[in-house]
Structure 1
Amino acid sequence: MNLSTQISPISISNFFVNKAISEGVELTPMKLLKLVYLAHGWHLGLNNATPLISEAVQAWKFGPVINSVYHDFKSFKDSQITSLGFDPTTLTYPILSDTQKTPLLLKVWDVYKNWTGLELSALTHEDGSPWDTVWNKQGGKNKQGAIIPNDLIADYYMKKSGKSNG
């Protein structure tokens, strides 16, 4: 795994925050978490490549969570996010470079921007989803911060895209 090609989840979050603010689209912490997760999932499934984000996805009671994104934006609760996230590892409010603003991220935004956080949550909780597999079938509910493996996420989104593993 080449960490240099992975992106800080806060950078991806800030991409979605900027899009929401500029387009006047509702963006709550729950919706943001799901958008970052979906971008990561579709990246893995379509590209069968290095993970998009530099942090593991965890299975929590209410779905897949990227810990840094949750903690950075939880103060907004159920309200509109109005400011960028801060990355304590770089001491910045990271923004994606033009080369990192991939067509995939733009597509994820265009497809899911009008979904609510609850609708996206239901989508990520579907039977057989990576979260469902780890949380309900592999005992993740009995472990705090159970990791959803990237290969499980990749396989799921690869199947959803119609691609095969072989």
Structure 2
Amino acid sequence: MTSSSAPTSAAAVANAFLDLQAADSGNFPRIDQMKLYKLVFYAQAWWLAQKDTPLFEEDVYAWPWGPVVREIYGDFKSAGRDPITHQRATTITKTGTSLLDFRISKPQPPNEEVMSFLKQTWDVHKPFTGIALSNATHAPGEPWTIIKDLHDGDLSDKPLIPVEVIRDVFKGKLVASRQA
């Protein structure tokens, strides 16, 4: 994706969900890798449906177990199936002209509007396990399923899910929910 006007990063969204979990004393399945990847996807999807613009610039890919942002996977793959409690996503920033001029840091937290939106997204999705959220992304008509079908069921190359597909599917859901 090439949008440079996205209000935040996928890493900041992931960290916000982990911070929301830490502040929530309720009884719900804790965030593991799969749940985190799906929460980040749903945040992007519902933001696109409401705002017609991406929440974050990073692309979403159709991996065998559902939509994933590659950059987030790299930060959390070591968690395995365990709940993620202390890990946080990082970003890599170019700091100069040399090939080695990079800095790894924690991303800036999202602004107040985005945090309010992420809190709503968290409240809706927190009761579900990562497996349940993954299963929901595999339903007929979902962006992941559309891409899987276009690739004859072969997701071994982990193809891109175009932002337009995500936006259009979730915009349709938003319109349908308002007509109900």
Please give the TM-score of this superposition, normalised by the length of structure 1. 0.88
Output the CA distance in 2 between the equivalents of 1:2 and 1:69.
18
Partner of 1:5, secondary structure, is coil
Gaps of 5+ in 1: none
1:80 corresponding residue in structure 2:
83
Output the CA distance in 2 between the equivalents of 1:115 and 1:137.
28
Question: Kindly, what percent of the aligned residue pairs are identical?
Answer: 32
- Contact 1:14–1:95 (CA<8 Å) still a contact in 2? no
Output the CA distance in 2 between the equivalents of 1:97 and 1:134.
29
Output the CA distance in 2 between the equivalents of 1:141 and 1:60.
10
Aligned residues: 162
2:33 corresponding residue in structure 1:
29
Deviation at 1:104, TM superposition (A): 2.1
Output the CA distance in 2 between the equivalents of 1:46 and 1:142.
29
What are the within-5 Å matches in structure 2 for residues 1-166 of structure 1? 2-24=3-25, 26-48=30-52, 50-82=53-85, 83-89=87-93, 91-99=104-112, 101-139=114-152, 141=154, 144-162=157-175
Deviation at 1:97, TM superposition (A): 3.8
Deviation at 1:136, TM superposition (A): 2.2
Partner of 1:141, secondary structure, is coil
Which whole-Å deviations, capped at 9, do the CAs of 1:109-154 have from their partners, x for residues lacking one?
Answer: 1100111101100111111111001012344725513110111101
Moved over 4 A (4+): none
Gaps of 5+ in 2: 94-102
Instruction: Name which one, 1 or 2, has greater alpha-carbon Rg.
Output: 2
Partner of 2:5, secondary structure, is helix
Q: What RMSD, in angstroms, separates the aligned Cα atoms of the two structures?
A: 1.9
Give the counterpart letter for 2:47 in structure 1. Answer: H
Partner of 2:62, secondary structure, is strand
Output the CA distance in 1 between the equivalents of 2:78 and 2:3.
32
Please give the TM-score of this superposition, normalised by the length of structure 2. 0.82
Which structure shows the higher helix fraction? 1
Output the CA distance in 2 between the equivalents of 1:139 and 1:131.
12
Give the counterpart letter for 1:141 in structure 2. Answer: D
Give the counterpart letter for 2:17 in structure 1. Answer: F
- Contact 1:59–1:140 (CA<8 Å) still a contact in 2? no
Partner of 1:135, secondary structure, is helix
Partner of 1:91, secondary structure, is strand
